[in-house]
Amino acid sequence: MSPVGGPDSSKQALWMVLASFLFATMAVGVKAASNSFGTFELIFYRGLVSVIFMAAMVRARGASLRTPVPMMHFTRSAVGVISLGSWFYAIAHLPLATAMTLNYMSGVWVAAFILGGSLFYGQGPRQGMLMTTVLLGFAGVVMTLRPTIDHDQLFAGVIGLLSGMGAALAYMQVTALGKVGEPEERTVFYFAVGTALIGGAGVAFSELTPWEHVRWQDAAWVVPIGVLASLGQWCMTRAYRKGATLVVASMQYSGIVFACIYSVLLFGDTIAPMGWAGIAVIVTSGVLATVLRERALPDTPAEAH
């Protein structure tokens, strides 16, 4: 791995920026498609497309889909799908930039989990900086939500916040999978399988939108959502595998910038000055949390959306 700031590190940071752009673009598709499809339908279609895409990628790389740790994949998929569903719901009911920012609170949540463990083992006084980072992140959430969420959107805001917590838990499970030697593409594939299965189960117990009631502009996003998610995960994995972790993880927050641009230009959302300040605070706290997280959990693999 190249030193922080080295040429190879800069190159991999660009892969992370590309991944963030792909995830933000996927979020645009989710927000557009939610005009015709329910959350479970979008989860199912996203998973189905990703299963096909990732299976083809695994086969092309000559790898195997056989895994020695199926229960670890089951747990990771269950938590990941809950987080994904919460994020999709938030995207459908909140300004895009707000939903994206709340989901990217995952880094702060990981720091909060580390802090909780430290307090449990009586190491609280040593974690002053970590506690400051966590409090800073939640202060940013308050600043972001107050000017950008109406009273009738408060529930969606809580769901968006929970999506970030779920992403943090999924991150830690992906870390465990990496430590037992599971390749990233296999982890992403089984997450896609879990997404399709749970999304399909949700559709079975809810109302499926008749295709004659679906606008073609919304249906056109079904396949791109899955492909963009898969490509985003691939770019993110490549960035983390060869780049300096701190540089790459910091570039992940460029996704919020792309989401803000999309939110304003495509959906006509307005973000108050305090909202912009809150987003900046969350990004800052996330970068700081990444630095502290790297000290506590080194050599961790990429997160998956």
Q: What average pLDDT does range 219-242 have in this prediction?
A: 84
What is the predicted pLDDT for the residue at 5?
47
* Token pair belonging to 243: 């780049």
Quick check: is 178 in a domain?
yes
The total domain count for the chain is: 1
Higher per-residue pLDDT: 32 or 132: 32
272 has pLDDT over 90: no
The reported pLDDT for the residue numbered 295 is 63
Q: Is residue 167 domain-resident?
A: yes
Whether 173 shows a pLDDT value over 90: the answer reads: no
Contact 36, 218 (CB under 8 A): yes
The neighbour count for residue 36, using CB atoms within 10 Å, is: 19
Pick the more confident residue, 137 or 152. Answer: 137
C-alpha to C-alpha distance for 209 and 203, rounded to whole angstroms: 9
Range of the domain at 193: 7-296
What 8-state DSSP symbol labels residue 220?
A: T
Rounded to 5 degrees, what angle do the CA atoms 27, 29, 32 make? 110
Give this prediction's pTM: 0.80
Q: What span, in angstroms and rounded, lies between the C-alpha atoms of 12 and 35? A: 36
CA separation for the pair 232, 216 (Å, rounded)? 25
The pLDDT tens digits for 196-222 are 999 999 998 887 888 888 999 999 999
Does any domain span residue 207?
A: yes
Q: Is residue 42 part of a domain?
A: yes
Q: Is residue 75 part of a domain?
A: yes
Whether residue 2 is contained in a domain is answered as: no
Give the torsion sign (CA, 151, 153, 155, 160): negative
Poorest-pLDDT segment among 23-37, 189-203, 279-293: 279-293
Is the pLDDT at 75 greater than 50? The verdict is yes
